[in-house]
Amino acid sequence: MEKRSIDHNSEFYNNPIKPFSSNEEEPETMPASGRKHTLEDYINGLKRQEQVNCDKINELSRRNEQLHRKIQSLKQAARTNYINQPRIQYFSETKLIENEGKIKTSDDMNAIIQNRIYEAGLSPSMAGSIGLIRSLENLGVEDPPEYEGIYTIIAEEPQITADRTMLLKEGMYAALYTRNSIKTSLYEELLEYVKTRGYHPEGPFLIRQIVDAFITSNEDELMSEVRIRVRK
């Protein structure tokens, strides 16, 4: 086969290779308006997408907040419904400081509390929960209700005279806890609960408000207790 010589002086070899330039790229597809997209168009598009994303995030946040409130409401309802259920449970022996006398106003109650704690020689650490006493006979509708006395649960063993104290015997008690205001209907509900389970009430009602940070930090949800000793 005949070999051909390569002509290095031909036009193919003498044409220089052009360097790459952005101006030599394929032309961009023209938009419908016949105008090229510019950097400003791109930035504006990003801004519009950012606003859309922001609106979506705000909507999701709003729905999440609504859902959170609904869940909290359902939890609160379930908690309240459970607390308002009467129960009969065992309580251990408890020593109280009792006062005899009727109480109608908060001033009466505050004065009695201060006098009793002072007379008994109690320090603040010794004085536990404070409660009210209401007799079985005094279940009429009063506004405000009338109480037969007030008591303080002794958290420590102070040097006090026997006539200043009462002993809350260990045993079975019917109890009802509520975060709502204590009304006469709650006493009647508790007595009905005791009766239907074959128990008989003994002694007065013991009423106290439980102020405990472990229960709630919301003052509107402070839990109250109504308790009465029962026997078969």
The residue ranges of every structural domain in the chain are 35-82, 87-231
Q: Starting from the edge strand earliest in sequence, which strands make up the sheet with 223-231, in order? A: 87-91, 171-178, 223-231, 200-210, 127-134, 147-154, 94-103, 165-168
- pLDDT mean by block of 10 residues, the chain; 232 residues: 52 50 47 69 88 90 83 65 78 72 60 61 49 67 61 58 70 83 79 92 79 49 78 90
Fold of 87-231: Multidrug-efflux Transporter 1 Regulator Bmrr; Chain A (3.20.80)
**Burial of 15 per CB tally in 10 Å (0-12, 13-18, 19+):** exposed
Using a cut of 0.75, tell me whether the model's pTM lies above it: no
Structural tokens at position 215: 């229960």
